[in-house]
Amino acid sequence: MRLTRRSAIASALALSACGQGAKSQPAPAPIPPLKSLARFPIGCCVQERWLQEPDYADLLAEQFSQLTAEWEMKMEYILREDGGFQFDRPDSIALFAKARGMALHGHTLVWYAGEPEPFKKLDGKGAAFANAYRNYILAVVGRYKGQARSWDVVNEPITDDGERLRESLWSRNVGLDDHIIRALEHAREADPAAALFINDYHLELKPNKRATFMRLVERLLKRGAPLDGLGTQTHIDYDLPEGAVGAALKDLASFGLPIHLSELDISLGDRFVPALPGDRVKRQIAKYAEVAEAFMALPERQRFAFTVWGLRDSDTWLRGPSGQRPTDQPLLFDDAGQAKPTARVLADAFSRRA
């Protein structure tokens, strides 16, 4: 008998309660590898320093089939102040993926949030800027040619209010749409086999931002840009209205391109008190099941990958300075690397619709 979503959530909760509550109870059974239950890559973001921890590395490789560098394949790490490149940690992440038979998703080449000095010095210098822009992309994508199956070529091109394209060092010097088109073209030139994405957040929370993103996609495709897929980050809260993720995926899938659910975490919200979870954890578990089912409802050829933004709760960016939620528990594995009910409901969803 196949588990329904409701019974899957109930059993996940019950298992977790016996694991956490009664001391005499045995620890909850481990979950089967998530990557073995789905017909598409199950991804996780990583930082190179964690790959040196054997328990972390083993759990990551056991459960996931794709890696995204959380920050060490971005300009902020690769491009040094003196204009030189440092590839030690990105190489280490790529090597780990290769050694463990995992796919690698490159993240990210161009981002408004990263404006390193070597490019700032070229601000306003037309051809010099454009050449440096092309050379950076050729160098980075070229280095991982045949290793990275795909790239977030431009990250977060739409303003947070969802109304327009972001102005940035890149758009100012290469053009509003053109900096995206050029970046896609340079990436294609460097590795014709890599699938090229643009990636953004709050496409489920803000329908107006999704609409602006989709108008950009239309323009890029109309101009023949080598755009192969769309990334929807899906950094959401436990109380996101029901159906929002499904509506976003359905809209984005209307272009017929592969969809990367690229950075999933489901926050327990501001000021979460672990000892007083209220109904937040239960709703978060249900939300994980809902997101999995929404992704599974995509046509198989459009399910590019399902990626979570961190392995253990202790790894989440949300507990750090930019997330500002120090007690958050947004992921699939707890601080000790034990599978949580959030992982169980994903396992159930993937096995139900495998």
Residues 169-228, interacting with ligand G3I (CB under 6 A): 201
Residue placing its CB nearer to ligand G3I in the complex, 147 or 233: 233
Residue placing its CB nearer to ligand G3I in the complex, 328 or 348: 328
| Both structure tokens of 272 | 């979460």
The only residue of 76, 160, 218, 270 in contact with ligand G3I, by rule CB under 6 A: 76
Catalytic status, residue 156: yes
The only residue of 185, 204, 237, 263 in contact with ligand G3I, by rule CB under 6 A: 263
Residue placing its CB nearer to ligand G3I in the complex, 9 or 79: 79
Residues 83-122, interacting with ligand G3I (CB under 6 A): none
Residue placing its CB nearer to ligand G3I in the complex, 109 or 184: 109
Choice among 70, 72, 204, 263 that is catalytic: 263
Omega of the bond leading into 232 within 30 degrees of 0 (cis):
no
Residue placing its CB nearer to ligand G3I in the complex, 268 or 289: 268
Based on the shown chain and the rule CB under 6 A, indicate whether residue 350 belongs to the binding site for ligand G3I: no
Strand partners, 312: 333
Give the shortest CB-83-to-ligand G3I separation in angstroms: 19
Based on the shown chain and the rule CB under 6 A, indicate whether residue 50 belongs to the binding site for ligand G3I: no
Find the length of the chain: 354
Give the shortest CB-208-to-ligand G3I separation in angstroms: 19
Residues 105-115 as b or e (16 or more Cβ within 10 Å = b):
bbbbbbbbebe
The only residue of 71, 85, 87, 255 in contact with ligand G3I, by rule CB under 6 A: 71
Strand partners, 229: 197
The only residue of 317, 325, 330, 350 in contact with ligand G3I, by rule CB under 6 A: 317
| C-alpha–C-alpha distance, residues 319 and 330, integer Å | 10
The only residue of 35, 74, 179, 210 in contact with ligand G3I, by rule CB under 6 A: 74
Catalytic status, residue 115: no
Q: Distances in Å between the alpha carbon of 122 and those of 21, 115, 140, 170, 268?
A: 59, 11, 19, 11, 43
Residue placing its CB nearer to ligand G3I in the complex, 69 or 103: 69
Choice among 48, 72, 156, 185 that is catalytic: 156
Residues near ligand G3I, by CB under 6 A: 47, 70-71, 74, 76, 155, 201, 233, 263, 317, 322
What positions carry a catalytic annotation?
156, 263
